[in-house]
Amino acid sequence: MCGIAGAFQQPDGKVVVTTMTDRLGHRGPDASGVLELVAPDSAVVLGHRRLSIIDLSQAADQPLSKGGLTLTYNGEIYNHDQLRRELQGRGVRFVTRSDTEVVLEAWRAWGPASLRRLRGMFAFAIHDERTGSLSLARDPLGIKPLYVMARGEGILFASELKAILAAVGSELTVNSAAMVASALYYWLPQEYDAVHQVRKLDPGTWAQYHRDGTMTSGTYWHAAEEAVLAASGPRADLRDVLTTSVEAHLVSDVPVACFLSGGLDSSLIAVLAHRRDPSIEAYTIAVRPEDQRLEAMPDDAPYARLLADRLGMRLHEIELHPDVAQMLPRIVDVLDEPIGDPAAINTVLMCEAARGQGVKVLLSGMGADELFGGYRKHYAMLLAARYRRVPEVLRSGLVRPLVQSLPVSVAGRGLRTVRWAQRFVTFAGMPEQEAFRRSYTLYDRDELVGLVDPDLAGAVDGVLDRHRAVYEDNQLDDVVARMCLADTRMFMAGLNLTYTDRASMAASTEVRVPFVDPAVFAAAFSLPPSDRIRGRVQKAALRDVAREWLPPVIVDRPKASFGAPLRAWVSTDLREMVDDVLIGGRLVESGFLQREPLRRLVEDQRAGRRDEAKQIWHLLTLELWFRNARAAGVGAG
């Protein structure tokens, strides 16, 4: 796992790439390199920061040049040994044991067709001395990031946006439409660029830049097409697919550990990893009782302890009590894009603890909820279909006003059921696509239009239209499958994989996600509808498989979010920052946020009338992100 950067056809490429590579130091503290390649009509500079995981020798450092190809690569290829043997059968001679060299030789042998052969997570750039071209590629599901900036006659690219901003921020401007999208979602969808000119290479795609200024590109894996293909085929053996995926993700020349929340997903990963490697250790988060009370959140730690004791696995517990006001600016910088999910703090703290114990690689249960129908919104959408049978006059005249009038906290204790009910009535009466979008975004259209600059109403409508286009881009018959596909393409890639990559790499660790794998994806979409949600049971197929290895108390446990005591933080630790930095901040000063609607939102939270903690947290992170961009020289847009 590493950080990569590069410049193609840039007169100042060496200086720019050196700056970007330095900014990516946290992604690879073990080695660094900047290589300038000059050929007729072609100028390429490639940079790399290495976190050594496979073949720890200096021979595997990057950029790696061999036989006219030069590669800078971020990721892990779990089937590299199998591919190595296949390539050796074609006469290839290897000089390292690294997966990096396998990627280079696979590209030489098969070009873009090699990408479907790679089982793993990756983003890379490869220069061909013979043609003078530079090729970029990204893994199928978007686990590893790659930002690309068109500049002059060529491009810049890097693993993180902040690296590009550090090098050429003064040439860029903030994209206000992306900030609107971030305000709606509390993260940034793949199709939105936080700053103009810098885009994210789409998952499952490649692009090739030629020395004559032209570019060719292609898609080698498309989620909507793969889902339909899987749904029309035979049902996969989920037990075998999961076992194989976890075993593949254990490939490493350094110790591997796992996250263990005590929930179904992380427990399933932990038990399968432990079956393969009984020495594996685990890390979990514990929350202070006073924060847990206000948040009305379940206590995960006892379940993690139970499984660890059952397996004889060493469990490291990290109590979550950071100085949030001090840590928040750091987290905003770590997350790179305008993302407002406090779970990133958990990930940073656990990864730092693991790194302090000498662990570089951790396994996560992320991705199971998206693929197998595990989020509350998935079940809520099925309930909403029944709710819509209630006469509209009763829904709008009685149920909704009554639910919205209830307090969300009493005497310092959060009322989780009330929060859920208030959320439910905001979307339950809507058509499918609109209801699904409203089930997990922060505002309805009119609320968001009233909060931001009135001139951005068109941008709000554009964001809503884009959600509709992505959601409806499928040929699946089942509503739960449609939701899972949309979540995989948007929520998982835009939020969960993004914050996991940035938060883990900030601690110079690698997080692997065995559920986020094309084979597991295909298995999930091969399931009949009842194997996702069966009555009131979510992720039914996963629970069926897990009963062989896990105790019933974990298998049958209701979902508990991998979250943080957000409401406690917003109400106490961050109160002064909300007043000074957010309400008195630059987004209000610039007119992007309207002061009075923002004040009302904060007052409703503090009075316990409405649960606006997530909105306030995210707007505060958006303000800090905007300040960081401006400090890097980026124009206001």
* pLDDT digit string, tens, across residues 71-127: 999 999 999 999 999 999 999 999 999 999 999 999 999 999 999 999 999 999 999
At 335, is the secondary structure helix, strand, or coil? helix
The Cα–Cα gap between 396 and 509 comes to 50
More confident residue, 298 or 7: 7
The Cα–Cα gap between 149 and 191 comes to 14
Mean pLDDT of 451-470: 97
Q: What phi-psi label fits residue 562: left (phi over 0), alpha (psi between -120 and 50 degrees) or beta?
A: beta
Q: Give the pairing type, strands 281-287 and 256-259.
A: parallel
pLDDT of 251 higher than 80:
yes
Mean pLDDT of 2-11: 96
User: Identity (one letter) of the amino acid at 191?
Assistant: E
Q: How confident is the model at residue 292 (pLDDT cuts 50, 70, 90)?
A: low
What is the predicted pLDDT for the residue at 331?
95
pLDDT of 560 higher than 90:
no
Provide the Cα torsion 69, 70, 75, 81; round to 10°: 40
What is the predicted pLDDT for the residue at 537?
95
What is the predicted pLDDT for the residue at 346?
87
Token reading at 105:
């030789």
Active site residue 484: no
Q: How confident is the model at residue 558 (pLDDT cuts 50, 70, 90)?
A: confident
pLDDT digits (tens, 9 = 90+) for 176-194: 999 999 999 999 999 999 9
The Cα–Cα gap between 279 and 314 comes to 8
What domains, with CATH codes, occur in the chain? 2-174+192-220 (3.60.20.10), 225-373+481-555 (3.40.50.620), 574-637 (no CATH)
| Average pLDDT for the chain | 93
What is the predicted pLDDT for the residue at 427?
86
Residue 8 DSSP symbol: E
Unique residue bearing structure tokens 């959408």: 381
Q: Terminal CA-to-CA distance of the chain, rounded, Å?
A: 34
Let me know: does 45 contact 74? Beta carbons within 8 Å.
Answer: no
Token reading at 355:
């790194």
More confident residue, 411 or 373: 373
Q: How confident is the model at residue 285 (pLDDT cuts 50, 70, 90)?
A: confident
The Cα–Cα gap between 125 and 304 comes to 40
Letter string b/e over residues 117-156, b meaning 16 or more CB atoms within 10 A of that residue's CB = bbbbbbbbbbbbeeebbbbbbbbbbbbbbbbbbebeebbb
Closest CA to 563 of 604, 609, 614, 503: 614
Mean pLDDT of 35-59: 91
Q: Give the pairing type, strands 205-209 and 215-219.
A: antiparallel
pLDDT of 301 higher than 90:
no
- In angstroms, what is the C-alpha Rg of the chain? 24
Q: Which of 2, 258, 351, 484 is catalytic?
A: 2
What is the predicted pLDDT for the residue at 376?
92
Contacts 24+ apart (CB under 8 A), 296-302: 296/413, 296/414, 296/415, 296/416, 296/419, 297/416, 297/560, 297/561, 297/563, 297/565, 298/558, 298/560, 300/261, 300/262, 300/263, 300/560, 301/262, 302/262
pLDDT of 633 higher than 80:
yes
What is the predicted pLDDT for the residue at 414?
64
What is the predicted pLDDT for the residue at 417?
79
